[in-house]
Each structure stands twice: as C-alpha cells, then as structure tokens.
Structure 1
C-alpha cells in the first residue's frame, strides 16, 4: 500500500493505471520466473541457497531505491496538515461513500476469488485425475493469466477510464465464473475457463487499486491499507467457505456463488460511485 500511495502522489491520475499495472506486472512476473529458478537452484545446490540469493538481491534493491527514489512530500494543498494514527484515518475515510463502495467491492471480489481458488486443484484432481505435477502446470497457467491481466491494466485502463474498466471487468469476471460449469467437459476447456477467470479478476482488481489511490489523496496510504485489509478478510472467509461448499456440493455451486459475490461487488461499486436521482 505504501508503494502504491507513493505512485499515487508522484504520477498523474491520467497515467495511474499504467504505473500501478506495471508494478503489479513486475510482481507477478517475478513470481512466474522466480519460482522455477528457485526450484532449479534448490536442485543444483540446497534449499537454503534461494534465501541467500533473495537476501542479496533485496539488499541491493534497498540501496538502489534509497538512492534513486525522490524525496517524499505531502500532496499539494495538504502541507502542514497532520493526520492521525491508522485507526483515526480509517474512521475518517469510512465517511466517504466512494471508499465504502470500494472496500465492499474488495471484500466481495476477494471472497468470490478464494472460494474458487482453494478448490480448483481438488476439482482438477478428482474430476480429471490430474497429478500434482500437472496441477502445478495449471498454476503456472494461472500465473500467466495474472500477468496478462496486469498488462491489460497497464496498457488499456487509462485509455478506457479506470472506473469504466472496473465495471467492465466485474461483468466479465462474473460471466467467466458462470461459464465454468459449462466448460466442465475436458481438461483443455477447464484450464481455458480458469485462465479467463483469473485474467478478468486480475485486471479488475489492479485497476480498482489504481482508482483507489485517488479517492482521498491526503490519506492514500490509509485508504489502500483498508483496501488490502478488507480484501484479506474476504480471502479468509472465501478460503473457509470454499472448502465447506466443495465438500458438500461441487464446482457448479462454487462457480455460481463466486459469480454472485462478483455481482455483489458490482452492486457495491454502483452504490458507491453512481449517483441516482430520486423522484
């Protein structure tokens, strides 16, 4: 959250999606490349070696960032103003309708995602007899979907408009969830469906992060920390409920519930960001 708040302070809003997307793209790309490299390093040397390499690289990056990053300054118009501690700031941002809509969106999107995420491996194993190695390859495919989703955010969200992109993404994500049971007829179809789900989810959530950086400019870090905290709560609930639902039903109900959660996120964003005229 601090890094994204820093980007929000130093990057114009018209380019916010591009730069937030690029940072998330670097994160996902590092995972996609780093995990296989760590595996090869462990095989060639020992399981301690990757930690040593990561530690050296982290120290080098710290020195580079300390030297190159510009001085942190308060946003224009906020110089001299003091902000309270985190809980006070959270109370303040909760008074904003757009923030409440965004936080509710984060909860329901994370809830729907993890309801599926914690069971898709069991689905592939039980329905199609895939080995752990094959499921691992499927995980790489999901990583590629995340990279693609973040690339879409980086290159297209600013042109389309961040808020419009979030709404489009929620509709596509819900549709991808509802499509999964239809594709439950073979491994290629299922993997294609999972790729589509995580692609749509990722570019939606990363674009929403970009939008969240501008909701309350003087409290960017607090807003983003609340976004991640509420999203984390959604993941915890989703991980708990996903296993229970899977044990009693199957992928049809998992997909439908995940889709309904996404539609709930859509309703929350609509309530938070769209003004309705009352007759």
Structure 2
C-alpha cells in the first residue's frame, strides 16, 4: 500500500486543531456555565450558534474563495482561528463570548471542506478515497487527544486556558500549512451551472440530508455529555477527560478501519455501517449507569462518529468528482446544520426536564439518516448511465 504524500500531514494536523476547537465547548460546558453564571442550556447556545454559522458559511465561503490559492487560504484561516480563540479568553460575559465564538467558526467553515476539496489535486486518483479519509483522521485524533485534554484543562485551569491552548496550536498549524503546501493549488471554481447541477442532483442532495440527520441525532446528546454525566454518575473533570479520550480512541480506530476498507466495501455501505453503529449506542444508552458501563455503551457510537463523515466525503467525491468542491462544502454545511439543530433541541429538552430522553431523540435522527441513505443508494443505482 502506497504511503500518503507528506503534504497531507499538515492538513491532518489542521483538522486536528479545527476539531479540537469545535469540540472544546462541549468539553468545558460546565466550566463556561459556572464562570459566566449562566445555565447549561444557555451555554449550549454557543454550540448551536457556532454550528449555524458554519452551516451557512461553508457553501458561501466555497463560492467566495473559489479562485484563491489553497496555501494562502488554508494558512490564513488557521491564523484567524488562532486569533479569535485568543480573543475569546478575554471575554467576561456570555454576551461578549457568543459573537466571538460565532466569528471564530468562519475558519472551520473554510478549512475542513477546502482541505478535502484540494486533496484530489495532491494525490493520484486511485488514492483519493484513502487520502480524504486520512486527512479526516485529524478529527479523530482531536477526539482522542484534543477534546479530552481540552476538557481536563478546562476543568482544572478554567475554560479560558483551554481556549488559549487552541489559539496557540492554530498559529502553529498555520505555519506548517504555509511551509508544506505548494503554490498554485487551485481546485477549479464551480460555475453557476455547476452549482445548479449540484443542487439538482438527487443522489448528492440525499447524501447531504443523510449527513444533517446523523449529525443532529448525535449532537442532541453529544453537546451535553458533560452535564449529563455529572448529573447521572457524578463524573469529575478528570474522569470526563478520560471518558472523552476513550470515546476518541475508538473514534480513531473507526476512522482507521474506514480508511482501510472503504475502497473495498464501498462508500454507501460504509456509511450505513457507521450510522448503524451509532444508532446501536443510542438504543442501549440507558444501560450506562456507571462509569465503566457508560464507557462500554459508547463504543459503537465512537466507532461510527467520525468514520461516517469520512465515508460521506468520499461518497460525494465518487458520485460527482467534478462537483466535489461544492458538494463537500454543502456536506460540511449539513453537518454543522445538524449540530445546530441537535444542540438546540437538546438544550430545549433539558430546559423541559427531559435530559433522560435525549438518546431517544438521537436514535430517531440516526434511523431517519439510515433510511435516507438507502434511498440515496437506490437513487444512484437507478440514475441513467
């Protein structure tokens, strides 16, 4: 098996930093709530508002930056990410933090989809699926190391320290991308006709809906891991960090398995297996009554969590390679829309005293996602050659 080109490593690291920054709020939700004297449901608005910005921003940014050199675009997006995380550490009220958090999320709206879109210009066609999943391993590593370390730092030194660490890592990522990426990497800009073709493609739009549904299904519960575990099993900051690390480790394993087998079993089946694994955890969620049982129950979810998105990206590229920059941006938009919907729905359920039922709402979203995925596969099979 051919080795991945070295230029993909800074893209993987960039996704690690992006993923760590996106997930730092769920990991420090208790500390943000306490520090700013707000409820957990209110603090959860940081997740839904930021996700909404990424949802709208991903396709808009894809259109605006279409002609930009990716070396400059990706490096500048990480500089922005670092600067805004550092600025957020100065916030003393929720009203000050919320707009900064929203503006910070412009960087993920650019970096993750545009890094994936330019992979096709950096590797041979036969390595494309594996290269895309390789780059997205950064998100899995973020769940293994970034999120648990961020949760531990937030729980022991305060959420501002966790935000500051991400800011510094972002600036380091910007330097690495700048030094490693070649000049002149410019995926072809999508014309108005190409965007129209993307939006009118039934298989592509169904796949985008799949992403939105499984993202919403996850984030109705994932957003509130910290307060849920604190209420149910009295978890400490150190234990929460270990739980996130456990979850992330299996997420990393899931993505590694996906990277290894996706070209063999096909992207549609890979997506179905990943989402099905997450649905299994939602079904057996009430069994997690102790720290050990909760860790065991989370394994199927972790295996499918990040690998599902890697498979979806490869699936979209495979359906229409010439429309990849647009479809991947829309897929990222759908992922963030799902996060916003899930976090907002979970916050509302918590405010209604229904924290015990979050997993049932998540299960519904995941089952709907599997149904739509099956329809998308059938739609592609029936498409005229």
TMscore range, shorter length: 0.7 to 0.9
Check conservation: 1:108, 1:234, Cα contact below 8 A: yes
TM-score by length of structure 2 reads 0.60
- Equivalence for 1:63: 179
- Equivalence for 1:188: 292
TM-score by length of structure 1 reads 0.80
* 1:215 to partner: Cα distance: 2.3
* 1:72 to partner: Cα distance: 4.6
Greater mean deviation of Cα atoms: 233-242 or 147-156: 147-156
Equivalent residue runs for 1:55-94 within 5 Å? 55-66=171-182, 71-72=185-186, 83-84=190-191, 89-94=194-199
* 1:154 to partner: Cα distance: 1.1
* 1:199 to partner: Cα distance: 1.8
Equivalent residue runs for 1:146-161 within 5 Å? 146-161=251-266
* 1:55 to partner: Cα distance: 2.5
Within the alignment, does 1:114 sit opposite 2:230 as a pair?
no
Equivalent residue runs for 1:251-262 within 5 Å? 251=356, 253-262=357-366
* Aligned residue pair count: 260
Equivalent residue runs for 1:1-279 within 5 Å? 1-9=113-121, 11=123, 15-29=127-141, 32-33=144-145, 36=149, 51=167, 54-66=170-182, 71-72=185-186, 83-84=190-191, 89-181=194-286, 183-246=287-350, 247-251=352-356, 253-275=357-379
Aligned mates of 1:65, 1:53 — CA distance in 2: 18
Q: Flag the 1:16–1:167 CA change in 2: closer, same or farther, 3 A.
A: farther
* 1:201 to partner: Cα distance: 2.3
* 1:29 to partner: Cα distance: 2.3
* 1:146 to partner: Cα distance: 2.2
- Equivalence for 2:103: none
Check conservation: 1:165, 1:204, Cα contact below 8 A: yes
Check conservation: 1:101, 1:268, Cα contact below 8 A: yes
**Runs (5+) with no aligned partner, structure 2:** 1-112
1:136-174 Cα shifts (integer Å, max 9, x gaps): 221222222321221111112212221111122222221
Of structures 1 and 2, the larger Rg is shown by 1
1:196-218 Cα shifts (integer Å, max 9, x gaps): 21222222221111111222222
Greater mean deviation of Cα atoms: 239-248 or 2-11: 2-11
